[in-house]
Every structure is written in structure tokens, then in C-alpha cells.
Amino acid sequence: MNGRTHPLEAVAAWLLALLWLAPLAYAFWSALHPAAYATSFSLSAPWTLENFVRAWHQAPFGRYYLNTVILVVLILIGQLVLSTLAAYAFARFKFKGSGIAFALVLLQLMIMPDVLIVENYRMIGKLGLLDTIPAIALPYLASAFGIFLLRQTFKSVPLELVEAARVEGAGPLQILWRVYVPLARPTYVAFGLVSVSYHWNNFLWPLIVTNSVEARPLTVGLAVFGAPETGVDWSIITAATVMTMAPLLFAFLLFQRQFVQSFMRAGIR
Amino acid sequence: MSDQLVMSSVARQARSHAWWNAVNAWLLLLPAAVLLLAFTHYPILATIRHSFFITRRNGTEAFVGLDSYHSMAADPIFWRALANNFWFALGTIPTSIALALLMAIWVNRNMRGRGFLRLAYFTPTVLPMIAVANIWLFFYTPDYGLLDQLRGLFGFGGWNWLGDPSTVMGCLIVMVIWKEAGFFMIFYLAALQQLSPDLEEAAAVEGASRWYTFRRITFPLLMPTTLFVAINAVINSFKLVDHLVIMTKGGPNNASTLLLYYIYEVAFTFQDSAYAATLTVVLLVLLSTVALIKFGYLDRRIHYQ
């Protein structure tokens, strides 16, 4: 697949790339220039960080950041632990009902918590957790996607290694920790990146279960902030928008290759 | 006699071993199972149960059998949301898939700046939809938004892109294509990298044109990926509603309402959770149908070995 490229095709590829970057470039332009230049592009426009300062002071973005980081870490740890245990059970234990249990897990790939907002809201209400960060995390802690991905990886671990560990007297959990987990590292990285970016960006469910600053993640904070009724100008909204996506965007630029590969790995599920 | 005794003790040992295995396995599954039951399986059943109720004005619920379904069948907004979802899927999916394939072919080559191209195409994928909606909202703003400024250069007047029922859906579709094409590109890129280069070389030796090679060799070989991406895209098109909260709230006049957004509105704005359950059942049926196609046919053949 490394055929020569027609010059016209190269031009088209580049044009499409520029077109694809344009909305982002615009967001940065508007965030980094005074409001007067938000819509008029001129090379002589002065640069400024004023919009970020004002956005930061107009809404509790510090708190939103903290909430989002806590949320994402909570979900990631929960998913990694629960998926590892479940995947291990499916990959290496023969037991009655495992087929049905696995099918019931896979059901969540299609019918994600995103769709069951009404009943999940009731459930969170019954648990008395409304408007808390755990409320946002709970429906996502058991991830069918994570279980599936890890099960596939665990299945490829050679049984000789497991046997060797068993001969040395390791129990099931020690075998999991010493043999399976280290060998599945690339899968953990892939799943971690996909999960973190998904939950950093998630919006509808956090919007539903939170209504106070103390629990709101960045995305919901941004939506509240950007509501046109509040009458803030575009430069400030774009500054807030850039702030919301900056950490993920920055991580993506740094670990581009891992990102793309992890999405690929996760994609070939 | 003693032989039999040995046999039965071996069998007993094997049985207790199997029993011990099962106990271990279920203990490992327990934490995930509890959460899956609480936030996936129970809610599915509860949704179905609630779909046979109505919410009274004082907040209590009453069993009404299929009445909710009859009201739903008579609800023009429900049909509008369903139709919108259909057009939304039809508008976004084929175009994003075609673009994704094109992008993947380009970034799979030894083209100059390949890394940059990959980056450019993929970046929208990692952005929050809510941030994307904020940025694009500005493009579509009447008069001084970017789109109207461009129109102004050619002497056209302003246009309320998101406020006009005839243009709002198109605007959202363009934005979602921009957001999603790079994601689908990844699937194609993975598939392309698994194709043997020999085929293309052989075709080149035979003097086949590039278009012919693509049409007769590459594209058919990528068919499983195309189906896989298409199915995922259909599922996505039912879940994607974040942007509506910021950009249109389903308007004007429900021209951009999608099914999940309508459910959200009915449940949390109109506080009618029973009717929201009825609507959710439709969504569940649609998603299960797609799921059956996916598991029953596609994945068995293609992606799960």
C-alpha cells in the first residue's frame, strides 16, 4: 500500500487536512485575541491572554478541572480493576453459565448507560447519590468494552507461563497479578487512553445527574458557561472552550502515536 | 471393587475441582456483575415495565397497559425525532465513511507530511462534542458568524442557519462528519495495514490502473471493515445528542430533535419519566436490532475469532 502519490492527490490531502484543522485554529485565534478581532482576521491583531483570565474568573473552572480529574481517575481505576477480574474469569475459568454471563456483559456494548438515562437517574436517586461525582462514575465502572478487550488479550497468554507460576505455588490472584497483568500492558494503555478521552468528553449523563459546582465536570461547566443567555462574548467562550479541551489536546499532541495506536487496537475489537 | 473406589475418588476430586473453579470465577465476576445488573440489565427491564405506565400530574404513576404506546404512535414529535434520526444517519454515515476511507488511504502511503495529515484528520475525534458545538455555533451565527461573513464577500445577506428548519439538519450533519470521519479512518488504517502489499504490486505489474485496483481489489477486501464501521456509526448516530443541548435544543420547531434528545427532554424538562420510558423502549428495540445483526452475522465472521 505504498504506491506513489499523484501530486494532485497530495494537494487534496493537504487541503482536506487544513480544512479539518480550521475550526480548531479558529478557536485558538479567537481565544488569543481581543474580542474586536474575534471575527476579523488580521495579521496585526495583538495577542492576549486576557480572555483566559476573564473566563477563569467568571466561572469556577478550577473546581471543574478538579472534578473532571477526580471523575476520570475514579472511572479509570474502577474499570481497570473490575475489567481485569472479570476478563480473567472469562478467559481462564471453565464454569457453567459462562457463555450466558459473557453474552450479558456484551449487551452493554450496544445498550450503553448513555441510553438508559431515565432509569439510571432513578437508580442514582434511590442510592441517594444525586449531584455527586460517584453518581457520574457508577454506571460506567463495569465496562463491557474493557472486559472484552482484556479477555481477548488474556486468552493469548501462553499456558506454559501459567503452569510455571502454578508450580511455584502461586494462587489464581497471584497468577493474574504476576503473569497476566504484566503481559497485557499494551492493552491497558490502549484501554486507558480510550476511556480517559471518553469520560473527559462525556456530557449528557453528567449534565443530568449534577446541578452544583461541587460535582460538575468541565463539559457541563462549559455548557452552563457558554449559554447565550449569559451574554458573554465569543472570545471568552472560545477561551473557555480551549481550556476545556486543552489537557486532552495537549496529551494527544504529546502521545499522538500511542493515541492513534490505542484507538486502532481498540477498534479491531 | 477397589478400582471403582479409586475411580470415584478421582471423579469426586475432579468434581470438587470444577466446583472450586466455578466459585472462583463467580467471585471474580461479582463486582462487575453487580454494577452491570444495577446499571444495564435492571434498567432495561425497568424501562420496559415503566413503558406501560403514565406519570400523573402529581408525580405518581398509573398502569395503563399499551395506552402509552398508542399516545406515542399519535405523537408527531416522536415521529419527527425518528425521521430526523433517519436523515441524520443517512446524512452523516456514508459521507464520513467515504472520507474516512480516503483519509486512511492517504495516510497509509509514504506521503510527505504523513504524520501531520494523520494528526489533522484525527484531532476532532479527541475533542469534547460540547466544545466542538461551541466552536461551530459561531460559524453558523447569523450575520457575523464565519459562514455569513464568507457569504457577505459574495454579496449575500445573513442567514439564520440553525434557526431555519430547512438548513439546521444540514449544518449539524456537516459538523458531525467533521467530528467523526477521523475516527472511522482509524478502523480503515488498521485494516489497510493488514492487507498484503503483494496484491497491489501484482496488480501494478499487470498494468492495472490505480482506480481499477482500488475498485476491484482494495475496496472488496475492506468490505468487512466497511460493514463494521457502518454498524458502529449507526449505533453512534442514536447516541450523539450533546451538540443539540448547546446548538439548537432540538429546534426550530423540532427540526433537529433526535430520539435520545427527545427522551432527555421528556424525562428531565417535562418530568414525564413514564412516557420517556416508552420512548426508550423504541430506542432499545432499534439498538438491539443493530446488535443482533452485529453479533449474529458480522462479528462472528469478521472480528471475533
Distance, CA of A178 to CA of A19 (rounded, Å): 48
Residue A1's pLDDT band, with cuts at 50, 70 and 90, is very low
Q: What string of DSSP letters covers B226-288? A: HHHHHHHHHHHHHH--HHHHHHTTT-STTTT--HHHHHHHHHHTS--HHHHHHHHHHHHHHHH
Distance, CA of A262 to CA of A196 (rounded, Å): 12
Is residue B252 reached through a cis peptide bond, with omega within 30 degrees of 0 on the bond before it? yes
B170-198 mean pLDDT? 90
Of B146, B186, B195, the CB nearest to A264: B186
What chain B residue is nearest to A265 in terms of C-alpha separation? B190
Distance, CA of B219 to CA of B225 (rounded, Å): 10
**CB neighbours of B13 closer than 8 A, spacing ≥ 6?**
none
Cβ-contact B264, A117 below 8 angstroms: yes
- Closest Cα to residue A71, out of A205, A208, A215? A215
Distance, CA of A26 to CA of A44 (rounded, Å): 16
Q: What string of DSSP letters covers chain A? A: ------HHHHHHHHHHHHHHHHHHHHHHHHHTS-GGGSS---TTPPP-SHHHHHHHHHTTHHHHHHHHHHHHHHHHHHHHHHHHHHHHHHHH---TTHHHHHHHHHHHHHS-TTT-HHHHHHHHHHTT-TTSHHHHHGGGSS-HHHHHHHHHHHHTS-HHHHHHHHHTT--HHHHIIIIIHHHTHHHHHHHHHHHHHHHHH--HHHHHH--STTT--HHHHHHHHH-GGG---HHHHHHHHHHHHHHHHHHHHHTHHHHHHHHHHHHT-
Q: How far apart are the first and last CA of chain B?
A: 47
pLDDT above 70 covers what percent of chain A?
A: 93
Characterize A179-203 residue by residue with b for buried, 16 or more Cβ atoms within 10 angstroms of its Cβ, and e for exposed: bbbeebeebbebbbbbbbbebbbbb
Q: Which residues of chain A lie closer than 8 angstroms to B32, CB-CB? A: 82-83, 85-86, 105, 142, 147
Closest-CA distance of chain B to residue A95, Å: 5
Residues within 8 A of B (CB atoms), A 54-73 only: none
Cβ-contact A178, A114 below 8 angstroms: no
DSSP B215: I
- The answer to whether residue B305 scores a pLDDT higher than 50 is no
Tens-place pLDDT, residues A63-116 = 999 999 999 999 999 999 999 999 999 998 888 889 999 999 988 988 999 999
Lowest pLDDT segment from A139-153, B4-18, B196-210: B4-18
Is the CB of residue A183 less than 8 Å away from at least one CB of chain B? no
DSSP B57: T
Quote the cell numbers at residue A83.
475489567
Distance, CA of A182 to CA of A210 (rounded, Å): 37
Is the CB of residue A130 less than 8 Å away from at least one CB of chain B? no
Determine, for residues B186 and A263 on separate chains, whether the beta-carbon distance falls below 8 Å. yes
Helix, strand or coil, per DSSP, at residue B63: strand
Is the CB of residue A172 less than 8 Å away from at least one CB of chain B? yes
Residues within 8 A of A (CB atoms), B 184-213 only: 186-187, 189-190, 192-193, 195, 197, 200, 204, 210
Q: What is the pLDDT of residue B2?
A: 57
Determine, for residues B40 and A260 on separate chains, whether the beta-carbon distance falls below 8 Å. no
Helix, strand or coil, per DSSP, at residue B206: coil
B162-191 mean pLDDT? 91
Is the CB of residue A51 less than 8 Å away from at least one CB of chain B? no
Residue A267's pLDDT band, with cuts at 50, 70 and 90, is low
Lowest pLDDT segment from A38-42, A180-184, A192-196, B169-173: A38-42
Closest-CA distance of chain B to residue A206, Å: 11
DSSP B113: T
Residue B262's pLDDT band, with cuts at 50, 70 and 90, is very high
- Closest Cα to residue B38, out of A153, A262, A134, A34? A134
Between the CA of residue A269 and those of A108, A173, B175, what are the distances in Å?
A: 15, 26, 27
Residue B110's pLDDT band, with cuts at 50, 70 and 90, is confident
Q: Which residue has the cell 471575527?
A: A39
Q: What is the pLDDT of residue B76?
A: 95
Distance, CA of A201 to CA of A75 (rounded, Å): 13
Determine, for residues A219 and B130 on separate chains, whether the beta-carbon distance falls below 8 Å. yes
Residues within 8 A of A (CB atoms), B 112-171 only: 112-113, 115-132, 134-136, 138-139, 144-146, 149
Distance, CA of B113 to CA of B123 (rounded, Å): 15
- Closest Cα to residue B164, out of B153, B148, B177, B152? B148
Between the CA of residue B218 and those of A202, A243, B59, B105, what are the distances in Å?
A: 36, 42, 58, 10
Average pLDDT, chain B: 87
- The answer to whether residue B304 scores a pLDDT higher than 70 is no
A250-262 mean pLDDT? 84
Distance, CA of A63 to CA of A240 (rounded, Å): 14
Residue A228's pLDDT band, with cuts at 50, 70 and 90, is low
Quote the cell numbers at residue A250.
495537549
Cβ-contact A202, B245 below 8 angstroms: no
- Of residues A54 and A180, more confidence is placed in A180
Cβ-contact B254, B80 below 8 angstroms: yes
Q: Which residues of chain B lie closer than 8 angstroms to A122, CB-CB? A: 46, 273
Q: Which residues of chain A lie closer than 8 angstroms to B28, CB-CB? A: 85-86, 88-89, 93
Cβ-contact B261, B223 below 8 angstroms: no
Give the torsion sign (CA, A90, A96, A100, A101): negative
Q: What is the pLDDT of residue B7?
A: 60
Determine, for residues B40 and A219 on separate chains, whether the beta-carbon distance falls below 8 Å. no
- Closest Cα to residue B293, out of B222, B234, B240? B234
Distance, CA of A267 to CA of A259 (rounded, Å): 12
Give the torsion sign (CA, B89, A200, B284, B296): positive
Of B29, B41, B122, the CB nearest to A89: B29
Tens-place pLDDT, residues B241-256 = 999 998 998 878 899 9
Helix, strand or coil, per DSSP, at residue B55: strand
Distance of alpha carbon A119 from its chain centroid, rounded? 23
Between the CA of residue B273 and those of A11, A151, B304, what are the distances in Å?
A: 53, 37, 38
- What type of residue is B62? A
B227-238 mean pLDDT? 90
Which residue blocks in chain B are alpha helix, DSSP H?
Answer: 2-36, 42-50, 67-73, 76-108, 114-126, 129-139, 146-153, 168-194, 197-205, 210-213, 219-221, 223-239, 242-247, 259-268, 273-293, 300-301
